[in-house]
A and B are shown apart, each in its own frame.
Chain A
Amino acid sequence: MDLFEILKQFKTIKPDEAFAEKSKRAILASLPLKGPGIAGAFKAQRFIFRIIETGAALALAGFFIILITGVFPGASISPVRFSAIDPKNLRAEAQIIDAQINLASLNYSEPSLVVESTQKLVNAISGESGAAESSSAAANSSSSAVSIDQALEELSK
């Protein structure tokens, strides 16, 4: 007899009929388990909620870390620069202001300086020590009258 024919004879093997009937009754007496209906939907909802919850917790933790350290990891963020408070501009402006102050002081101090220099020149020209007092008196009297132009003219002579 061929092996495959013998194997076909295996189909005649069946369980005991009494057992089959008893087993069937026992199985069908039980109820099938509930499928993925409402319970499944709840599970999915809970799963999504947990993902959101975890995400929010991580985001908050990250935010507080940044807040505490003041550093954004992986990003080099320099402070905002305002042109108004730029040190170079400030320095330049300060220099301009100083120059203006000097010029202003120059204007104020110009007559006295000129008078002093004129007096020195006059003293040098006259060469007389005795006449220094009279000339100084004259200078004092003329300081108010002698202008710069006149002094220069005198010098040129």
Chain B
Amino acid sequence: MLDGEEKLIKSAVGGDSSAFGALYDHYQPMIYRFVLVKVGRREEAEDLTHQVFLSAWQNIRRYKNLGHPFSSWLYQIARNQIVDYYRSKKSDITLDDGDSELFIPSAATDPVDISTKLAVEKVFAALRKLKPEYGEVIMLRFVEDASLRDAARILEKTEGAVKLMQHRAIKELRKILGDDTSKI
């Protein structure tokens, strides 16, 4: 959570664009990663992320603080955008599309060695093969460190269901990776 987030949200709801800019800077990479795992292509992930924040800014006055983090609202918008994306692109997408243009996380190359980069690429590809909800739960719980409560809120499931789902997702991911994650 961002320092002074409540104040920033209040200002943004009041129409303060700089406050929303600060929220954008903090949450944009997180939403981008979430979308990227779902769509697999960098350009489309960028476009969708842009749409998510544009929609968030345009509807910021409707935002109500119900005790959930601001990120859960953004994730909700992102999920809706992804659904719309797949609905509109349904006829264009083939089974090969996801794998043919897999995004290689360029940022991962800078601070880490090549073996880590390869491992990230492999897990990323495996994530894309998972059920969409499994990919989501892994991203939320193990990448973004979302609490069970927040993940349940974002995925619109109970905490128990999220627990079960994350267990199955990891099991499935290991299966796809061929149980050799210790080697990668």
Contacts and interface: CB of A to CB of B under 8 A. Distances in A.
A81 interface: no
B46 A12 contact: no
A3 B170 contact: yes
A82 interface: no
Given A7-B123, A15-B45, A33-B59, 16 more contacts: A3-B170, A4-B142, A6-B116, A9-B108, A9-B116, A10-B105, A10-B123, A13-B29, A13-B108, A15-B46, A20-B28, A23-B28, A27-B53, A27-B57, A30-B57, A31-B15
Size category of the A interface is 20 to 34
Interface string A1-31: 1111011111111111001100110111011
Contacts of B139: 10
Nearest to B120: A9
Interface of A: 1-4, 6-16, 19-20, 23-24, 26-28, 30-36
Contacts of A3: 123, 170, 173-174, 177, 181
B131 interface: no
Contacts of A32: 15, 57-61
Contacts of A23: 28, 46, 49-50, 53
B143 A19 contact: no
Contact of A6 (B32, B36, B181): B181
